[in-house]
Structure 1
Amino acid sequence: MRIHGIVSGKVQGVGFRYSTKLQADKYNLTGWVKNRDDGTVELEVEGDQMKIDLLLNDIKKGFHPFMQVNNIKTTILNHTGYKDFQILN
């Protein structure tokens, strides 16, 4: 399974991408995460659906008090076979 997501809220400048990568690695998920010019964060995550759901729940809760997630808009996509999880610039 692969999802594409846009995360809005206070998600830039607070370690969101790094925290997302750590959790994705913990769940053995692949894909990428990057900041967007509009202040949101974009991601694609690939792997087991239950583990993707765990990651999305972690994101919704926020990884620490300095982070605030207002919304996650997701779309299900076809599996592509990412090799690892990367932070993109």
Structure 2
Amino acid sequence: MKKKRVECHYYGRVQGVGFRYWAQMQGSKFKLTGWVRNEYDGSVTVQVQGTEEQIENFLYGMEHGHRFIRIDELKVSAIPIKEGESDFRVTY
């Protein structure tokens, strides 16, 4: 199956609520690679790589699985594949 990579910018109640660790759990659950980090403006950036279906499942899980997270806005854009990545991690 063809892989793709997307960058997601999440806005809302996404810092101080376990969002990054939830993203890491979802990334691992769906066997994706990438990373997640907090931004200085209060948003969170995620880069995730996998199949279309894996990424769709990840995005759904991020919006519907954690009771403390509130996503007010999500911007998703396709970006180039990153070769050699082997896991999904929290970065700082």
Alignment TM class, shorter chain as reference: over 0.9
Q: How many residues are aligned here?
A: 88
CA RMSD of aligned residues (A): 0.9
The match for 1:69 is: 71
1:57 aligns with 2:60: yes
Deviation of 1:78 after TM superposition, in Å, equals 1.6
Shift of 1:65: 2.1
Q: Provide the C-alpha distance between the structure 2 equivalents of 1:59 and 1:23, rounded to a whole number of angstroms.
A: 7
Q: TM-score, normalised by structure 1?
A: 0.93
Distance in 1 (CA, whole Å) between partners of 2:12 and 2:33 is: 23
**Unaligned stretches of 5+ residues in structure 2:** none
2:19 counterpart letter in structure 1: F
Separation in 2, partners of 1:9, 1:25: 23
Alignment partner, residue 39 of structure 2: 36
Q: Distance in 1 between matches of 2:68 and 2:60?
A: 17
1:14 Cα deviation from its structure 2 partner: 0.3
Map of 1:4 onto structure 2: 7
1:27 shift after superposition: 0.4
Alignment correspondent of 2:81: 79
